Structure formats: C-alpha cells, structure tokens
Amino acid sequence: MSGLLNWILWTPVVGILAILCIPSKNKNAIRYAALATTAVTFVFTLLLYINFDTSVAGMQPDFLVKVPWIGDFNIFYSLGVDGISMPMTILTGLLFFLCILSSWTVDKSVKAYFALLLMLESTVFGVFFALDFFLFYVYWEVMLLPMFFLIGIWGGENREYAAVKFFLYTFFGSIIMLIGIIALYYSVDGVDAFNILAHQGGKYIGKTVSIFGTEWAFNKIFFWAMFLGFAIKVPVFPFHTWLPHAHVQAPTAVSVILAGVLLKMGTYGFLRIAFPIFPQAAVDYSTIIAVLGVISVLYGAFCAMAQNDVKKLVAYSSVSHMGFVMMGMAAMTTQGMNGAVLQMFNHGTSTAMMFLMIGVIYERSHHRWIVRPDGTKGYGGLAKHMPTYTVIFIIGMFASLGLPGLSGFISEALIFLGIYERFTTITVIAVMGLLIGAAYLLWMYKRMFFGEPSEEVLSYSDMNIREIAYMLPLCAAVIIFGIYPSPILDIMRASVGKLVELMAQFQ
Amino acid sequence: MVSLQAYLIVSLILLITGLVIMISRKNIVAILLGIELILNSAALNFVAYSKYTTNNLDGHIFSLFIIVIAAAEAAVGLAIVIRFFQIKETIHIDEVSELREEIAR
Amino acid sequence: MTTNLLANLSFYIPEMIVIVTMMSLLFMETAYANNERRRTFVYVTGVIGMLLCLFSLFKNLGVEAQGIFANAVVVDSFSTMMKITMVIGTLGTFYISHKSIDIYDELKSEYLIMAVGVLIGGMLLASSNNMLTLYLGVETLSILSYVMTSLKRRDNLSSEAAIKYALYGGVTAGIMLFGMSHLYGMFGSIQFGPIIEGIKGLESFNVAAVISLLLFFVGIGYKIACFPFHMWSPDVYQGSPVPVTAFFSIVPKIAGIAVVARVTYSFFGTETVNTHIWNSLIALIAALTMTVGNLSALNQKSVKRMLAFSSIGHVGLILMGVLTFGNNGMSAILFYTLIYTFMTLVAFFVTTMVVNRTGSDDAVYFRGLMKTHPILGMSFLIALFSLAGLPPFGGFVAKFNIISSAVGNGLYTLSIVAAINSVISLVYYLKLARSMVFDTADSEETIESYSLASRVYVIGMVIPIIFLGLFWNNIYHLYSSAKLYLN
Amino acid sequence: MNYTISTIAPIFLLPFFAFVINCVLIKKVPKFVPWVSVAGIVGSFFFAAAIFIDFFTVYNTDYYIHKVFNWIDLSHGDNIFKIDLGIFIDNMTAVMLLMVTGVASLIHIFSTWYMKGDVRWERFFVYLSLFTSAMLGLVLSDNLLSIFMFWEIMGFCSYSLIGFYFEKEEAGNASIKAFMTTRVGDVFFLLGILAIWAVVGSVDIPSIYAAISNGAFEGKTVFGIALASFAGFCIFCGTIGKSAQFPLQVWLPDAMMGPTPCSALIHAATMVAAGVYLSLRMYPLMYVGELNTLIAYIGGITAFGAATIALIQKDLKAVLAYSTISQLGYMVLGIGVGAYNAAFMHLVTHAIFKACLFLSAGSVIHSYHDKYMPEMGGLKNKLPYTCIAMWCCTLAIAGVPVFSGFVSKDRILGDALYLFLQTGEGVYAIPTILGFVGAFLTPFYMFRMMFLTFHGKNRNKDKYDHCHKEHLTWNQNVPLLILSVFTLGFFFSGSLTGQGIISFAKEKKEWFKVLIEPPVQQRLEKFSNVTSQPFSFEDTRDMSVIPKSQYLKQSGFAGPGYDTSAEEEYYDEVHHAHVLGAVASVIIVALSVLLAFAMYIFGFISPSFFYDKLSFWVKALKNKYYMDWLYIDVLIKKGLLKLNNLLSWFDSGIYDRYAIDGWAFINRQVFKASHWFDRVIVDSVAVDGTAVGTEIFSLVTKSIQSGYIQKYIIVLIGAIVALSMFLGF
C-alpha cells in the first residue's frame, strides 16, 4: 500500500510513453490507451480512498513516501496524502477519466492531445501529494506547460492570447511564491529545510526581513507572497481576469480540468501552505481574505449575469463559487473550513457538469451564444427537443445554484454557518450572492431551453450513450453527496480539525 | 626635476584628447588614432608610476606590452576599415549605423 | 627559478594543447589546398584538440589551488571548471559553424582558428592573477573577436559590426588600462596579491582607489556586456554570422564572468571599508542589466538580437551570483554557465537552421517550425522554456540556485527584481514559442542542410538540459566543492 | 403506538420512492407512472391517518415525539460540530399530515383525469410525487435546516410545474418570477437560521423553544437590532415569500400558468400554507422579537389588497389566485393578532376548500376549454356536480355560517377585534378594519365568480354546445364532492357555528381548540430540558387521556402555576368580542351577498357603474397596484441588468483591456501606479507589442541603441561618470 501514491503519480506517465509508441494514424488505439490509463489511475485513487484511515489527523502514515533527491539542498521526493488532499485526489482521478471520454471527438493531432492531458493529470496529482516545497513548486510550474499547449492548440479562435495570458499570470504569481519558499528554506536548517510540514505551526512570528530598504515582518510579507501565488490560481477578485479568457478559449475537457481541479490547487495551497505556516498572519488578515471572497462572490455573479456567451457565464460563476471557498477558509472555524474543502469538491463536480454539458451542445451547434451579438436567440426550445440533455443540465445547474438535496447547498450552508459568527455583515452581503447566483443561472436556462425550438435546434441530436455515460457519474456524485455528504466529510474531518485547532491558537 | 603630477596631468590630457577625438571626428582612421592616444596615456602612467612611486619594472613591462598590443589592434582595426571601405566606398563613421534598434510595430 | 617554471608548465597543459591545436590548424590552412577533405580534416583536428584539452582539464581538477608562473596565473578548480564550460561551448559552436552558410566554405577553417584563439584568451583571462595577464587575455579575446565578427566578408553588416566592436573594445580597453595604471601607482604592483593587501589596508573610504577600480571594471564589464557597457552587443550579435554570435554569447561572457567573480571576491570577499560600496555597485549593475536586457528584448524582430538582449538579462542574473560568491554563489555561477551554454547552443543551432533556409533570422521565419521539423522545434521549445527558467529544465535549477543564494544572503530586493524579470523574459520567449507552435508554417519543405547528424547533435544538446534539470545533485556537489585561489 | 422508522418514515418515503420509481419508469412504461404516484400518496395517507388517530386518542397537549439521527458530524478534539436531522410530531403536525396527505391524494386522483393526454403528462406526476414528499418531509422535520431544504425543493417543484408548458414564453417568465421572488424570502430565511444557530447552537424546534423559555435571546443584538427580532423577521420574510404576502405576492397570480391540479396542490393547499406553518412554528420567536404588529399589518394589507384586485379579474383561476393570497393574508393576520389556534384552523379549512375550488375550476376549464368568465355562464346545467362542490366551497370561503370558513375566519376577526378592544390602541385598529373590509369583499367576488360561471345565460354558444354533460366519474368530480363534504364547520369546531352552541363527544369538546395550543411563554417550559432521542428509543410516557376537568374552556391544558381566574375572565372578554365579531361578520357577509345578487343576478346595478365611478382605482387594480412594473421594469431591467452590464463592461472593457489597448495616456497612468506594473507588462505584451512596457522601454532602447558608435561612446563615458558619482557620494 505504501507505494500507492507513486502508482497514482506515475501511471499517467507510463500511459504517455505507451501513447508515444502508438503510431499517430491509429487514433482509436491512442484514445483507448488514454482511457485505460486514466481508468487505472482512478481505480488507484479509489483504492487509496478505501485504505484511508479517517481517524488520523494529518498525513496518513501508511502512504508516506520519502526519497532523497537533491542531497545538497535537502530536497526530497516526499509524497503524502491527508484529509485535505484526499477529496481532491478522487476528484482529479474521476474528472480526468471523464474528460478522456468527453474528448473522444477531438480529431486534431490526437496523439499530442492525449499525451498532454495525461501529463497534466500526473502533474496535478503531484501538486496534491507533494510534501516537499521544491517538488511542490516543480509540479506547480510544470503543470503550466500542458495547459499552455492544450489551450493554445486545441482552443477557440482567440486561443493564443488566452494561453499566453494564463501562462504569464500564473507564472508571475508562482515566481513570487518561489522567493517565499526559498526564504523559508533559509529560515530552517537541516534536512527539514524544504519539508512543508516542518515549517507549520507559526514559527516565524517576530522575525523580520528588509526589502526595499525597509523592515517587514517575516510572516506577514511572505504570507502575502504565498497569497499572491495562490490567489491568482483561485482566482480571487483582483486577479481573476485570466479566467474568462482561458475558460472560453479552452477546449471542453480542458475547461473542465481548469475549473474542476486547477482552481482548487489555489485554495489547496492556502490550506496546505499559507495558513499552517503563517497562522498569525492568516488570522490577522482573515478579514481581508473574507472581504476579497465576498467581493469575488458578488462580482463574479454580477458579471456572469451580463454574459451572452454561456461558457463565459459559467466561468464567472466559478469565480463566484471560489469566493465562497475563500470565505469559508477565512472563517477559520470547524464548519467553515470543512465547508470550504467540501465546496472545493462539490464545485469541482457541479461545474464540471456544466462545462461538459456546454461542450455537448457546442459539438452540435458550434457556437455558445445565449443571445447572439445581433440580438437573436442562440438556442431556445432545447427542453422540448432534447429531454435527456435537459434533465442532466437541470441537475448540474441546480447543483451549482445550491439547491438543497444537491451537493452545492451543504457546503455553502456549512460555510455560512462557519463565517456568520465572525463576519456577520460579510455573511449578510454574501447571502445575497446566492440570490444573484440563482438569477443568472435560471435566466440563462430560460433563454436556452424554453420556448419553441428553431429549425437549427431541431437538427441537433439528443445525447448519445457515450455522453450520458460520462455524465452519469457526476450526476450520481452530485445527488449522493447532496443527500449524504459524510463519505467526503469523514475523510477530511480530522485533518481539517487539526488545522482549525492550529488556527485557533492564534486568534 | 619633473614631478609625478606633471606626468599624470599629461596622461590625463592625452586620455581626454583621445576621447574627444573618438566622439568628435567622423573619419574612422582618426578614431583609431584616438584609441592609440588613450592607450598611450595609460602607458605613460605606468612608466611614470614605476619611475616615481613603485620601485619595480612592472610598469615598464606593462607599457611595452601595451605598445605591442596597440599595434596589433590598430592592424586589425585598419584591416576591418579596409573591408568596410571595399563594400561601402566610404569610411565616414555615420555610415556605420545600419545596425540599430527598430521597434516592431 | 626555471625548474619552478618548468614544473609549473605541468599545470598549464590544457592551454598548451589549445595553443598547439591552433598552430596545427594554422599550418593546415596554409599547407593544404582548399577542398572538402581538408575541411573535414581540419574539423577532426579541432575536435581532437578540444577533447584532449577537456581531458587534461579534468585531470587538473584535482590540483589544489595555487599560483603558477610567479603568481601571474593561477590554477584552481573554479577556473578549471569555467574553462571546461568554455571548451564545451567552443566544441558546440564547431558543429554550428560546420552547418551554417554564414561561414563561407573556404573560411570554415579560419573560423576554427579564430575560435580556438579566442578560447586561449578566455582561458588566460579566467585564470589570470595579474593585471598584465588579465589585459593580455582581454585583448586576445577582443582582437580575434573583431576578426570573427567580420568573417562574413561580402556582408556590409558584418564588417560594420566589426568596426563598432573594434572601436568600442578599443576605448574600453584604454579606459581599463588607465584604471589599471592608477591601481598600479597606488598599490605598487600589478599582481593581485599586493593590490588586495593594499585595499584591505585602506583604513577609510578611498575615492581614487574605488574609481580606478571602476575604470578597471569597465574593461571586463564590456566583455560580459553588463548594463552601461552593453550597447555594442546587440549590434555586434546581429551583424556577425550566427555561429560567431553563438560563440560570443558563450566563451567571452563566461571568461569575463570568471574574472569578475575572481576580482570581486578576492578584492572584496572579506569585509573592508570599501566592500559595501563595491557590492552595492555590482548589485545596482546587476539589477539594471537584467531589467534593461529583458525589457529591450521584448519586441525584437531579429531573433539573434533578441537572444543578445536575453543573454544580457542572464548576465544580470549571474552577477547576482557574483555578489554572493562566498556562499553558494560560486556553485550557482558554475551551474548557470554550464546550463546557459547548452541552452544557447541549442537556440543558436536552430537559428542557424532557419537562417540557412531563409537567409534571415527574422522571427516570422520561425512560424510553424514545430510542424515542419518536430525535433528541431521541440528542442528549441525546451531551450526557450529552460531559458525562461521553467521546471523541469536546467534553466530553472540554475535560476533557482542563483535566487536561493541571493535570498540566503538577504538580497530580497534583488531577488524580487530577478523574479519580475524572469516573468518579463518569459513574455518574449513565449512569443517565439507561440509563433513556432501555434502558427502555420509559410513553407512546408524541410531544410536541406538538416541531416541526421543535426538531429543527433541537437538531441545531444537537449538531453543535458533536461537531465540537469532533474538530477543535478552530483554536478552541483562537484561545483560546490570548487575552490578559488586567494593570494 | 410506538414511533420508529417503520411507522413514520413511510409518510415521507412512499411518495419519494414513487418519484424515484417514476424516474426510471418514465422512459420505459410511461403509462404506469400516474398510478405509482397515486399509490404512493394514498399509502402515506394511511400512515398519516394512523398517527392522527393516535394523537387524537391520546388527546394530550404535552404529547410530542422528537427523534433524530446524526447527519453531519465534524467534531474533532474539543470543537464539536454536529448537525442532527429528525422528526418532530405534535398535535399540529398530526393534523397537518392528515390534511396534506388527504388533499394531495384527492388531487393526485383528480390529476389522472385532468392531465390525461396532455403533453408530458407523466412528467407531471414525477414532479407531483417529489413535491408531495418534500411537503411531508417539511411537516415532519424537526429543525429549520431540513425545513429549509424541503422548502427549497418545493420551490424547485413549483418552478418546474409553473414552467410546465415551457413552449409558452410567459410560462418561462412566470416560473423564473416565482422562483426568484420566493428566493428573496428564502435568502432571509437562511440568514434567520444562521442567526438562530449562533445563539442556540442548533436549529431544531424544541431547542429553540427551550432557548426562548430560558431567555437565551435576551440582550443579544445584531446591527443594533435585538437578535430575536432580527431572526424572527428573517424567518417571517421566508413566510412572506412563500405564502405570497405583501410585498412579495407578485408571483402567485402568474403561477397560474401551471396545470390546474398543481395550482390546487402547490399554490393553494400546501406549499403556500407551508409559509404560514413555518411562522406558526416560530410563533414564540415572533413574539419574543415583538414582531406581532408588523405581521398583523402585513396580513391585513395582503388580505385587503388581494381581495380588491380579485374583484375585477376575468380569468377564473386569477380570481382564485387572488382569493388565495387574501386568505393567506387572513392567516398571517391571525398570527399577528395572536389567534394562533384560529390561524392554523383557517390554514386547514382553507387548504380544503381552496383545493376543491381549484379542482372545480380545473374541471370547468378542462370541459369548457376556456378559462375566461365573460365567455361562460349557465354552466350549472352542463356541470351539476362541479357546481355543487364549488358552491359549498364558495359558501365556506365567503364565511357563511355552518361552513368551515366562517368558523376559522370569524375567530381570526374576533381575536383581532378583541385585541383592539382590549388594548384600545389605534395600531390594532387598521388591521382589524382591513380584515373586516376584506371579509366584505370576499363573498362578493366569490359570488360574482359563481354567477358569471354557472348562472345567468351562456355567452358563448358553440363552446357551450361542445361542452359535454358531466357524469359522476370517480376521478373527475368525486374528489370534489369528497372535499366539499369537509367544508362543513363542525368537523373542526365540533359545532356547526364554532360558537359552542351544540357540543359533541362528551368530554372532548372543540378538539381542535384543545389540541392546538399556542406555545406561549409559560407553556414552553416543557422543552427547557430537551433531549433528542434516537429512532430506536422506546418512549414510555403516560399516554392516558387527560380528563376534561383539567382543561380550561378557552385553550388547552393549564400549565403549572397558571392562574385560573385570570383565564376565566379572559375567556369571558374573548367570548364577548367573539360574539360581537361573529354578528358583525354575519351582517357583512349578508350585505355583500345581497350586493352580488343585485349586480349579477337581478341586474339592479351594473358593474360598469362602478367602473366609471372608480376609474382611477380600477386602473390601479388592473395593474395590480403597479408592483410588477416596479419590480420587473424598474428594479430589474433598469437597475440590476444595467449594473451587471456596467460591471462586465468594466471587467472586460476597462479592468482587463486598458492594459491591452495601446491607449498611451491610460497606460502611462497605469505605469505610474507601481502595483499595476506587472499586470501591465503581462497583459500588454501578451498581445503583440502594443503595450506600455514595450512602448516606454522601446523609447529608451531606441534612444540608446541609435546605431551610432559615437553616441555609444558618449553614453559609455556618461555612464562611467555617473557610476563614479554613485561610488563617490
């Protein structure tokens, strides 16, 4: 069992090698190889879940991997999984598996496409497993390359701009983060210098550094350095402008991964690195974080309401939903933190559903206009013509709208329960975000699905077996975890509780 | 008895003259001569210093080397100038301005 | 005395080998008729010489640091490692020159001669312990470089670049000499040792000494093309033939860096009254060099020019390492130079290929390279990302080492500047990568001079980039064990 | 009877299973779908009946069941966080369960006739089952959180059923309008839950009661308001939204776009009543928060305003919709004036007769193929049974004695009157007056509707001829007749008039009054040491019938230390006020019925007379007091959408593009602001070259790299001088 993380991490790489061996004529073979790889990886993640010991707070001792890598720098190839990264792991395994299915119709240089997807999967797992700062950073950066090409080659008409913008934004954030990492490296000596866990617990209070000739508190300044790196990834309000471009231009599978997994890496970074290492600063600035969160909630919702491109609408809606996660983390209470992690998972499933459904309709109509620039309706009457599509779309939509009984509600409720006592005003404002959230989704739904179908719409075929096949698991997840979230909550409970206790010491 | 300062002042004058020549003259050969002046100012310094302050031969040796290398450099420089002349039929320094920054717009 | 000198010769074998190689190449040039056989023979000789030199350099690694030839020259592992990098670079450019059409066939052997000559100068410079040897090294480097620049005879740009180079080099050399002369006058010797003693002896801040040191620095700064003294380099790089550009951006720079590091560290390594001012000077120059280099590279049409500016940016980074030479800085510099060599070789090889096809190095001709020549495009891509400092490539590790040594010494400001600069640099690298991968090629036909050997070469150059990006422990360990001779 | 999973869960689970099974069946064998739904709801009706009988026989107001299971447990170490869900059954719940399951069963049966052959009629039953299960879950559930969840699910079903004919544009609009308007209330409801959680630490009803009786709410404030008021108000906002009170009543009339049975079930009988039910549950909180005046006013305004609008409606269902709003207003008024018992009774009676009214309207519309009353008339010959059923309900809603509406509504009015007389404060005058005026209007518009529909002579010949004569069909008009039976008063009051003239069931007089006991302060003490039990728990409480002697006349069981003499005189006053109110309302009803006869049967006065006299007023009524215009055109179109467009323009147009476009001066400004610097470089250079960074630095490089070697040398010398300066000083 101890090698399970390695298996999860390296199976996609093996898959890449296999795919590179297949001649590029033989497209189906490549597709099946990719599918098999992701399937195996997903099975491994499920094994991990089965063998997960929910009573352990912090890293699971059975799965720790620690191999010296760069001895002179005390850099280790050290992996571990705990209750915070476990849900993300399952999510990643599942979403990649479904994305391979969903991108069956990709026909442009198939070989490179699937190889890059698998590379992306491996790097994402690496980010979630890495317990060594250097390793974490390497995976964090390497992840940019496949994204760059996936968006830039297989994307929409304005893809290059989006790809470059995404790349530069994230790179800027992470290079600042790198300085923080190195500063941490020099503030601890010995073999633990790059060990993420060894830095936790607020060791750096009272330490100062001089930058631009003035003295700064170590934990504050480097909290902000980390904050920048992660906040750009989330993205929190002022750093969000890359997101609409990237989502709109990216191919379906990639936007699913982007929204479903990559955004979570930002918040994961907060929970794994920024908060435990600089708890004092995190507590001091929690108000700012919460305010940024609520701004993202409302700002994203308002912007989403004005969009005529349905994919852009969903993109802004994920800005809004990640704002809830930020609020939940800022609450620093048991229910708030748990709610945040649960929201990370639930947003992953629900928004993935939305993007996949948009991809389905895009394959038929080759446009994404709710209302075309010339004012005519892009769709309309889908509900009458495509019943199956409609039903699944409704599930996804109401899940991301936060309808009780579907997954979105519980996490949001927990977040609100958590944050109410600390930031009442912010809560009151943020609750209004729910209202707007319902508004734009229902309005979009009405404009797309109600009314009499036009001839163009009548030419579409309803979802085929493959599409239904990759939607069903997500529907199941959304409904089951909406009614009974404990399977996810139980694995995260102990670890998040530990984090909350740590934060509580500094309040 | 000439003092060290005199030598230094002369060499400084030489240096500045060389620089001024390099900046002002438009003929490449003249500019090469300016370089020679600069080098000679340095050589003069070496010799002067080794005569007055430091009682060793390093300065003399150094100045010898300077002379030799200045010759070599002048030879190469003139060769390049000739090459340039063969192509452009001019040795006016402002013709040497095709390689420059152009802004991509 | 003589016996001592002869004994010292045993440490000087690498340089001897290079000199011998140069001589033999010269003889072949004159002796044989100008034909294909001769050219291959010349190349073989050159390569053999370089390999022998490498071998003997590796043998020299073990030698403990000491000054030879009456302390005029030192052998220490630092300079030896720098020399190894230089020789590798020279070897790499051999193949580029063999492929390039910028070097006319009848002049290829001349290119070799010049290159090896410059290498001699570089090695002398890297291990010079004496203002005279330093000057000799710089001049050997420079004079031959002027000739190399004008090697493309029938091209006016080439000779124009040569003129600029010559004039600029001349004036900087003169200024350096002027500074040297005053140092000599102040401290009474041209040996570094007494000068260092003198500087340590200064009990107060001494303007004259510092300014003459600055003048002294001008000569080297112009060689490594750091900020105020960099104006020549874009023009010269653009004007000169591609292999020469590649060579310039490797060997003279590395030699210059070696000597800057040596001077800075051995003069100001220990805390004296003048240390702070000098370090702040270097820091200022480093920051400005990075910023100006990268920002100027942002919108260049000519790829050679763009790479010139980017190399200026890299020099700025390396100067950060020079500042922190004492702890980790040295190893960081060594690592950076090595990786930098490989990346530059790959980049310039691809540029050569493109120039061979189109006769121009304009960025538009790189469009769709990924589709027409996958291996070439992929290698160039890796080189670019590595230059930008992205994991898992060597460039990232190099940059990481530099920044980490800077942060380790509390140079946060400088490292933030470096970080922002690496973002800026990513911008123009990405522009090239993007046009290479996403755009469609103008012409589908492959480059005729793009042979199997070229594939082998470029892959062979890319492998170290990746390998050193992943498993850099041993080489880093070796580098961190390097010693610098302090007299 | 012992309450375990097996006895309680089916009530909620049978319809839910029906829903799940239908989801599967609908693809394969659609024709079974309706019968599965009917089976589910009828089954749960029997379980509900069992519970009701149990409670009725136990006949003890202290008797309640509260069993929970753990839903979410996030406890780690010292900080404990648990969410328990469960059931809470007391007398009110039992009555509610019986009512909901009964009405719903009849409506399901009716729908099998009404929806047959309609588009997607199987899907209708899927929604119906989901809705029913949600409603029952809401009634059963013991805490506000699960109430909120079922509440939202009901909202979703209502949304889907209003938009059932989504080919029609206005159906889509109506569905969104309904969902969003109620969601406004729901958001506040959620806030209320949060506020209560912050105080109580959980939101299940017994704990809240306990907290209130322990005075946990005292002295706590939010935004300077007393926390109890804040929480109570937020939860009451939920009621406002859900049961269409002023100012959020706008959605209910449009909700009539849905099929008629769903209007009957959702928008008349159960879902809108759920709002009132919630307020009844939170009655103590409302009083601790001193919200009763506000509630009374909102109820009165709604009751009156909706009644006025109903006067001029031409659409059969619209009249019923407005009358629903108005009747809900009466219930809320009842809560406001403290007529807890009467309000709940009105909830139940109204549910029954309004459901029947809607079903009858559905029967009329379905057989007449039109819903506009001006097109109708004289239908009593064609649809006799429907006519009878509808007349019973009309009399009931009109508040004619002997019928249930009289009993419940009269009690509300009586209590309002009593409150006014007793306190003598003017504040209570206005709601009371509004209530009585509404009581005058109600019979008028109902009779008008009946006359226009069934009496007089027909006004559309061919439609009349096409309409077939109605036969007694088990799933068309039998449900109506069954419902209409229960519009008789004594089922609820034990007497036909509710004034205790005739008493039955020797010692259990007025079971409704006795069982439903207002949870006022001193009666909450029984919750003060509340312990929630797991489902496996055997409860061994004494379930023996409490003898009559321990009961007081007015209301229920006397708690310990409860002053009996005070109770007595209170009772006398109340009785006095009630007799007064009863007489007044009888007179009022008589008057308005006469007016209706005069206008629509004998034609003494023509309606156009009023139209001309009150033209301005009529215009206002036609536009529903301009509230739709205010909300849709002003607030949303002019306000919200404008704001959104502005923001998104800002986001993509300024915030993102300023850097990208090469506008020189903006770029310079941005460039000055250092913290924008990197973004500028990033964004700008991302698109080829047109950028600040490059602009500015290309200027620099251009000036330096001029190509003239002499300039280079000048720069060199300058640099050397500058650096020497730097070094020297």
In a domain, C486, yes or no: no
Most confidently modeled of A35-39, C33-37, C65-69?
A35-39
The length of chain A is 507
C396 Cβ partners below 8 Å, 6+ apart? A138, A141, C386, C389, C390, C469
Of D79, D184, D191, the CB nearest to A428: D191
Distance CA A266, CA A228 (A): 10
**What does the pLDDT average to over A346-359?**
93
In a domain, C485, yes or no: no
Chain C CA closest to residue D677: C420
Intervals of chain B under pLDDT 50? 103-105
A283 Cβ partners below 8 Å, 6+ apart? A332, A503, A506, A507
The length of chain C is 487
Distance CA D184, CA D182 (A): 5
D675 Cβ partners below 8 Å, 6+ apart? none
Q: Which residues of A touch D649 (CB under 8 A)?
A: 306
pLDDT of residue D168: 84
Give the type of residue at D636: I
pLDDT of residue D454: 85
Q: Which residues of C touch D704 (CB under 8 A)?
A: 231
> Where residue B57 sits, what CATH number does that domain have?
1.10.287.3510
pLDDT digits (tens, 9 = 90+) for A244-273: 888 888 999 999 999 999 999 999 999 999
Domain of residue C169, residue span: 2-480
Quick check: C167 and B81 CB within 8 A? no
ipTM over 0.90: no
Residue D651: pLDDT band (50, 70, 90) is low
At residue D652, the 3 state secondary structure works out as helix
- Pairing state between β C66-68 and C73-75: antiparallel
Chain C CA closest to residue D724: C211
In terms of C-beta distances under 8 Å and separation of at least 24 residues, what long-range contacts does D284-288 make, across chains too?
D284/D208, D284/D209, D284/D212, D284/D519, D284/D520, D284/D521, D284/D524, D285/D196, D285/D208, D285/D212, D285/D217, D285/D228, D285/D231, D285/D232, D285/D235, D286/D232, D286/D236, D286/D335, D287/D520, D287/D521, D288/D212, D288/D217, D288/D228, D288/D232
Quick check: C473 and A71 CB within 8 A? yes
pLDDT at D478 over 70: yes
**What does the pLDDT average to over D147-154?**
92
Q: Which residues of B touch D712 (CB under 8 A)?
A: none
In a domain, C487, yes or no: no
Q: Which residues of B touch C236 (CB under 8 A)?
A: 99
Distance CA D694, CA D511 (A): 87
pLDDT of residue D567: 56
Give CA angle at C220 (C217, C221), nearest 5°.
75
Distance CA C121, CA C134 (A): 9
> Domain residues of chain D, as ranges?
294-354+370-517+555-622, 659-728
Q: Which residues of C touch B69 (CB under 8 A)?
A: 135-136, 139, 143
Nearest alpha carbon to residue C308 among C239, C381, C261: C239
Quick check: B98 and C156 CB within 8 A? yes
Chain C CA closest to residue D698: C296
Quick check: A138 and C392 CB within 8 A? yes
How many structural domains does chain B have?
1
Of A71, A138, A178, the CB nearest to C419: A178
Interface check for D698 against chain B (CB to CB < 8 A): the answer is yes
In a domain, C374, yes or no: yes
Beta carbons of D348 and D493 less than 8 angstroms apart? no
pLDDT of residue A131: 92
pLDDT digits (tens, 9 = 90+) for D507-527: 445 677 767 777 777 677 777
Partners of residue C68 on adjacent β-strands: C73
Residue D554: pLDDT band (50, 70, 90) is very low
**What does the pLDDT average to over A444-472?**
88
Domain of residue B12, residue span: 4-90
DSSP class per residue in A167-187: HHHHHHHHHHHHHHHHHHHHH
pLDDT digits (tens, 9 = 90+) for A288-326: 999 999 999 988 888 888 888 899 899 999 999 999 999
**What does the pLDDT average to over C189-214?**
85
Residues 63..122 of A with a Cβ closer than 8 Å to C: which?
69-73
pLDDT at C91 over 90: yes
Give the rounded percent of residues in chain D with a pLDDT score beyond 90: 18
Nearest alpha carbon to residue D452 among D325, D319, D256: D319
Q: For chain A, report the end-to-end CA distance as a whole number of angstroms.
A: 39
pLDDT at C284 over 70: yes
Of B18, B45, B81, the CB nearest to C181: B45
Beta carbons of D399 and D442 less than 8 angstroms apart? yes
pLDDT digits (tens, 9 = 90+) for C386-399: 999 888 899 999 99
Mean pLDDT, rounded, of chain C? 88
The minimum CA-CA distance between B96 and chain D, rounded to whole Å, is 7
**What does the pLDDT average to over D335-344?**
86
The minimum CA-CA distance between D655 and chain C, rounded to whole Å, is 20
The count of other CB atoms within 10 Å of the CB of residue A232 is 23
10 Å CB burial of residue D372 (0-12, 13-18, 19+) is middle
Q: Which residues of A touch D223 (CB under 8 A)?
A: 424-425
How many structural domains does chain C have?
1
Mean pLDDT, rounded, of chain A? 89
pLDDT digits (tens, 9 = 90+) for A154-164: 988 888 888 88
